[in-house]
Chains A and B, each alone.
Chain A
Amino acid sequence: MKKRAMFRLNENYRYKIQDEAAIEDFEDGSLLFLCRQRKMIEINPTARRVLDLMNGKRNLKQIIKIMSHDYKLNEKNIREDVHKLVNDLGTQGAIKPLVRVAIKRRQKMDKSASIMSNPDVSLREETDDGAILFNADTDSLLIINPVGLAMWRFIRAHPRTKPNIVAHLKEVCEDVPLDQVETDVDKFVAALQGKGFIGEVLDEKRSYRGDSDFHEKKAAG
């Protein structure tokens, strides 16, 4: 059975349509085509409006407010529909949260921060020895081992917290004590963050602490 991708819904996140997606409008609704997946999703005019608003500049909370105003409906009712839509589209890989990439080493991520890969980083997988990461933004290379590669794959498409990553790697690597996995993940995350290979998913509650230290990036598809 095919495993469904995990999608994290958060009203404080800003979302954006995936780069692989294209929308065409017809008189009776729209079609959203996911090029890589060769998948077609039918969307009604209300969903189309939500996608229009989802341009990476508004968070979900703001979108719900606008929809509630436009359709003259209670926010509570709109919220349920918007959540369902965003969850559906997110699970199908049609939208993504935006990522804020910390470039400076001194910006420390807390445990609850959602981490995602920097979309500008490309990955070249080697047969047995892990992979090479290349950050086009900073022109830096990083060689990672197979465990690093497992973590990279885990954070590539969806935001994950450090505990998520630890749990995942604990599953991948048998017979390794939990505290060792935690230490290794901490070190690896700090190394990746320091070189701008990963970033924190944009969350309004904590996003404007030190904007000079950040630059905004789209999330990886």
Chain B
Amino acid sequence: MKNEATGAIPISMKKKPPDNPGSKTHKGIFLHASSVIVSGKALLFLGHSSSGKSTISRLLSERYPIIADDKVYICKNKNGDWSVCDGSDGFPLKQRYSPSAGRQKSYPLFAVLRIFKSKSMKIMPISPKETCRYLMDAVFEIDIQRKQKDLKIMKQWFALTAEISRKIKGWRLAFRKDLRILGLIKEAFE
């Protein structure tokens, strides 16, 4: 965002406050999650700290490119589909994460998986209600969103996560730290 002529950040950009995720102009949210690309679409892995989000991304990176391994940004594109991109750069300006702006590559969201460490590998579908609960957990695991006090914005997040949950299938994935996870993901999502 630097001014090419002077190397300085344009004054207008300095003054403009960043958009609030969830506000009327910002139909998107940050999630504490990791994500990989499978067949051109994004799989989203949700879980609390140390649940294995980074581990699963690393294991899957043998075959599938990683989008993000700690923080993702999900927003709705013009067609009404949900797109995922890396949210690790922190609080973005609206246009930066807008898929149409093309500054950052985003991928259509295909599935939401709540991960659990386990001794066996198992994947099973969960209800949209459960998916919504997990997504909301991930919303409030982001520092800046946890501190949010505005009821309207929080309600907006709830509406967004509910909308995602109704549209995108949710899964519960029990996994152990070995490469058999690649086979499981291939079988379920490719």
A residues whose Cβ falls under 8 Å from a Cβ of B: 19-20, 22, 24, 26-29, 31, 33, 35-36, 38, 40, 42
Contact = CB atoms under 8 A, between A and B. Distances in A.
Given A24-B159, A31-B162, A33-B155, 17 more contacts: A19-B151, A24-B162, A26-B127, A26-B128, A26-B132, A26-B162, A26-B165, A26-B166, A27-B128, A28-B128, A31-B129, A33-B136, A33-B154, A35-B154, A35-B158, A36-B151, A40-B136
Which of A26, A27, A38, A40 lies at the interface centre, i.e. has the most chain B CB atoms within 10 A of its CB?
Answer: A26
Interface of B: 127-129, 132-133, 136, 140, 151, 154-155, 158-159, 162, 165-166
B151 A31 contact: no
A19 B158 CA distance: 14
18 contacts: A20-B151, A22-B154, A22-B155, A22-B159, A24-B159, A26-B162, A26-B165, A26-B166, A27-B128, A28-B128, A28-B129, A31-B129, A31-B133, A31-B162, A33-B155, A33-B158, A35-B154, A38-B140
Contacts of A36: 151
A28 B129 CA distance: 8
Given A31-B132, A33-B136, A40-B133, A24 B127 contact: no
Contacts of A19: 151
B155 A35 contact: yes
A68 to B, nearest CB: 28
Nearest to A27: B128
Nearest to A25: B162
Contacts of A31: 129, 132-133, 162
Nearest to B162: A24
